[in-house]
Structure 1
Amino acid sequence: MLEIFQVPKTLADDLLEFSDRQDCYSLTEMEDLKTELSQYVGVYALYYRGANPLYACISRANSDRCCLPIYIGKAIASGRRTGRTQGRTSNLYNRLKEHKRSIEKGDGLSVSEFEFKVVAMEVDLVSWGEGVMIRHFQPVWNQIIDGFGNHDPGRGRYQQKRSVWDLLHPGREWAQKLTNFDPLDYTAILDRVEALCLDSSQRVGCPT
Structure 2
Amino acid sequence: MDPQPAYFDPLSTKDLTTIICGRFEREPLRSLKAELPRFDGSGLYAIYCVGPGSNLYEPLISLTIPIYVGSSHSHSSATGDPASTADPLWRRVRGHRISIAEAGNLEVSQFGVRLLRMPDVHCDLGENGLRVGYRPVWNSILTGFGSNEQGAKTRTSARSRWDTVHPGRKRTFGQEAHDSGKLRARVQERVAEQVNGYHLLPWRSYGV
SS of residue in 2 equivalent to 1:173? coil
CA contact (8 A) 2:73 2:83 kept: no
CA contact (8 A) 1:77 1:123 kept: yes
- Structure 1 residues 52 and 78 mapped into 2: Cα distance closer, same or farther (>3 Å)? same
For 1:199, the equivalent position in structure 2 comes to: 193
SS of residue in 2 equivalent to 1:181? coil
1:184 equivalent in alignment to 2:179: yes
1:61 equivalent in alignment to 2:63: no
SS of residue in 1 equivalent to 2:19? helix
Give the Cα separation in 2 of the matches to 1:185 and 1:27.
Answer: 26
Percent of residue pairs identical? 25
For 1:146, the equivalent position in structure 2 comes to: 143
Quote the offset at 1:78 in angstroms: 1.4
Counterpart amino acid of residue 44 in structure 1 = Y
Quote the offset at 1:7 in angstroms: 4.0
Structure 1 runs of 4+ with >6 Å offset: none
Give the Cα separation in 2 of the matches to 1:98 and 1:160.
Answer: 21
CA contact (8 A) 1:42 1:92 kept: yes
More helix by percentage: 1
Alignment of 1:22-33 (within 5 A): 22-31=27-36, 33=37
Which runs of 5 or more residues in structure 2 are unaligned?
A: 1-10, 201-208
CA contact (8 A) 2:164 2:180 kept: no
CA contact (8 A) 1:45 1:71 kept: yes
Give the Cα separation in 1 of the matches to 2:40 and 2:106.
Answer: 28
Counterpart amino acid of residue 179 in structure 1 = G
Quote the offset at 1:163 in angstroms: 0.0
Give the structure with higher Rg (CA).
2
Two-structure CA RMSD over aligned residues (Å): 2.4
